[in-house]
Amino acid sequence: MAAKPNTILALNAVRARYPGAETFTFGDSRALCDELLALVRSGAKTATCGALRDFEAGGEPLPVVGRRDIALDWDGAPALVIETREVAIRRFAEIDEAFALAEGETDDLAGWQEAHARYFARNGGFAPDMLLVCERFRPVEDLAP
Q: What is the mean pLDDT of each run of 10 residues along the chain (145 residues)?
A: 73 95 96 98 98 87 96 96 98 98 97 98 97 98 90
pLDDT of residue 60: 84
pLDDT of residue 1: 46
Predicted TM-score (pTM) of this structure = 0.93
pLDDT of residue 15: 96
Pairing mode, strands 68-72 and 23-25: parallel
pLDDT of residue 58: 74
Backbone phi, psi, residue 138, to 5°? -130, 140
User: Would you state the CATH architecture of domain 5-140?
Assistant: Roll (3.10)
Calpha distance 34→72 (Å, rounded):
10
Q: What is the DSSP string of 48-100?
A: EEEEGGGTSTT-SPPP-TT-EEEEE-TTS-EEEEEEEEEEEEEEGGG--HHHH
